[in-house]
Each structure stands twice: as C-alpha cells, then as structure tokens.
Amino acid sequence: MPVLPRFGLSELTERFNCDSKCREYLEQLRWPSGPVCPKCGKKEIARVVNRDTVLRCVDCQAQFTVMAGTIFNDSHLPLSKWFIATFLLCESKKGISALQMQRILKIGGYKTAWYLCHRIRAAMLESQKAPLDGVVEVDETYIGGKQKGRGRGPHLSDKEIVIGIRQRNGQLRLFHVQNTKAATLAKYIRENVSEDVDVIITDDWVGYPKAMMEAGFHRNRHKTINHSGRVYVDGEIHTNTVENAFSLLKRGITGTWHKISAKHLPAYLEEMSFRFNRRKSDTLFQDTLRHMVTAPVLTFAKLTKEEAA
C-alpha cells in the first residue's frame, strides 16, 4: 500500500473524517493482500449484507471485523477518535497525558482516556529488535522521588532504575531493571548489542567491566568515561547520546505524565523508544496503526491486574 506522507492534525481529520474511511485504511494495513479469516485462514471473504463493517468467511462462515482480536477489540470509541489519539501520541515527543487526551477528544471519564492511551502504548511494544552495532553507549538513570546525591547503590529502594542502550546515529533501547549488578547489566548488553560492535562506551560504574566480560565482550572493546572525576567528554568517548534520551524521558515524566507507577513504567519506556527511533520517519503514524491491528488484545482487566507478591 502507498506510504502516507507525514501530515498535520488538520490533514488527518480531513483524510479520516468518518469511521468508514478509518476502517478501510485499517483493513489495508491488516490485510495488504485482502482479508483473511482469523479462524480458518482462508481468503474467500464476503461482506455481510447491510452490515458492510462485518466480514464473513465463505468457507467456515465465521464473521469478524478488522478490529476483532486487535488493540481495537470491543472498543465503542469512534475510529476517527482512535486515529486522532494515535496521531497525538505519535507526534508528542514527550508524550501526552490521559487527562489531556480526555480534554481534546471529549470522551467519557479519565479512566477511558487512560485505557485508550495504554492500548496504543501496548501496540508500540516490539518483540524483535535488531542488535545494535557500531558505537554503542550504555548508561543507567533513576526515576522517581526528589532525593539527590545518594549515589546509586542498592539502598535506593525509593527509585526505579532504567538502563539505556543507544547506538550512535541509531536506535535507542530503554529497560526497567531491579538493580545495576554486573549480571543484570550483562543480560541486557548481551541481548541488545551485536557481537560485531566496534566499541561499547559506559561511565565508570564498577559493575560494567565484569558485565562486559559476562556478556562476551573483550575489554579492548569497552571504553569508559570518568564521571566520578567530573569528566564527561574525552574526544569520542562519552555517554551524552544516551543521556540526551534520558533527559527527554524525564521531561516527559515531570512535565507530561507527572506520575508513573513502577508496574506501567516499561510501557512508557517502550512508547518513548518507539517514537524516538522513528522521529524522522514519514511512516510513524502508519507504523503505529499497523502495530495496532496486529498486536494482541489488551483488556482492562489484564492492564489493571495486581501483580503477584
């Protein structure tokens, strides 16, 4: 299907000003070669008479819509508002709050807007990510609370830890972790950095040398910058690239979302990195909608389920 050029909100509302246009576009995204029955996989599909939003499989007689089994599943919100919400989430580089979304779309209560945002956010989760190579920076930051100057040891129980891994002139990865022990750092480095990486740059945190060895990277491919000695740049050796992403994340938390629970922090990190990695792409909105019609259903019960102790 043709790539939509990047457009503004006014163009969006003109192009997708009714649910039928939105639905037609979603069908093209979900089934580029034509509708497929989700039950039997056959491609002989007809539309139900007088209910053109409903599709029927000629073979097994199953009826379904483009929204069934997707992020849109069981939603009563008009698709035109879904499209606007998705656009706003894509184009707001520091995110958009559920309260602001509620005001703009004039929908139900805060809970409805919160659930809407989380459903879009859930579609931004990417299960398969290419390994990072070239020059890669790794760093960690702390989210939550206002206490400063306490170091970064395990006693920081009132803060959440986020590891950032960023390829220079490339992609960003953000992860919510429980600690900064060498084994934890090694796990995320091993899973996200290519074996052919040129160099991995970190600060002088004591866990990194051992983490590099455990991840399988020789020490000659590990460079450090001495933040403890207030050295932040030494030629090409620095972690400023990943720290810029941390700055954007923290501005989103303090200025947009204001408060994030530890339970949902990973979802916000996925949203931030998904949008950041596509910030120069003309297909950001299109890619997000494509993920939304291929991602699994996220029920409110699942989203709000209490974690096991």
Q: Dihedral, CA atoms, 283, 289, 290, 291, nearest 10 degrees?
A: 110
**pLDDT score recorded for residue 257:** 95
User: Which has the minimum average pLDDT: 59-73, 138-152, 291-305?
Assistant: 138-152
Residues 6+ apart with CB under 8 A from 146: none
pTM (two decimals): 0.91
Q: Which CATH class is domain 135-248?
A: alpha beta
**pLDDT score recorded for residue 154:** 46
Q: State the pLDDT confidence band at 4, using cuts at 50, 70 and 90.
A: confident
- 157 pLDDT exceeds 90? no
- 301 pLDDT exceeds 80? yes
By CB neighbour count within 10 A (0-12 exposed, 13-18 middle, 19+ buried), where does 190 fall?
A: middle
- 1 pLDDT exceeds 70? no
pLDDT digits (tens, 9 = 90+) for 6-39: 889 999 999 999 999 999 999 999 999 999 999 9
> Is residue 83 a contact partner of residue 292, using CB atoms and an 8 Å limit?
no
Average predicted confidence (pLDDT) for the chain:
92
Rounded Cα distance, 143 and 268, in Å: 12
One-letter identity of residue 188: Y
Pairing of strands 135-143, 199-203: parallel
Q: Give the residue from 2, 71, 4, 1 showing the smallest Cα distance to 284.
A: 4
Residues 6+ apart with CB under 8 A from 53: 23, 65
Other residues' Cβ atoms within 10 Å of the Cβ of residue 56? 19
**pLDDT score recorded for residue 309:** 43
**pLDDT score recorded for residue 148:** 58
- 230 pLDDT exceeds 60? yes
For CATH 3.30.420.10, list the domain ranges present in the chain.
Answer: 135-248
One-letter identity of residue 305: K
- 104 pLDDT exceeds 90? yes
Other residues' Cβ atoms within 10 Å of the Cβ of residue 45? 17
Give me the numbers of helices (H) and strands (E) for the chain, helices first please. Answer: 11, 8
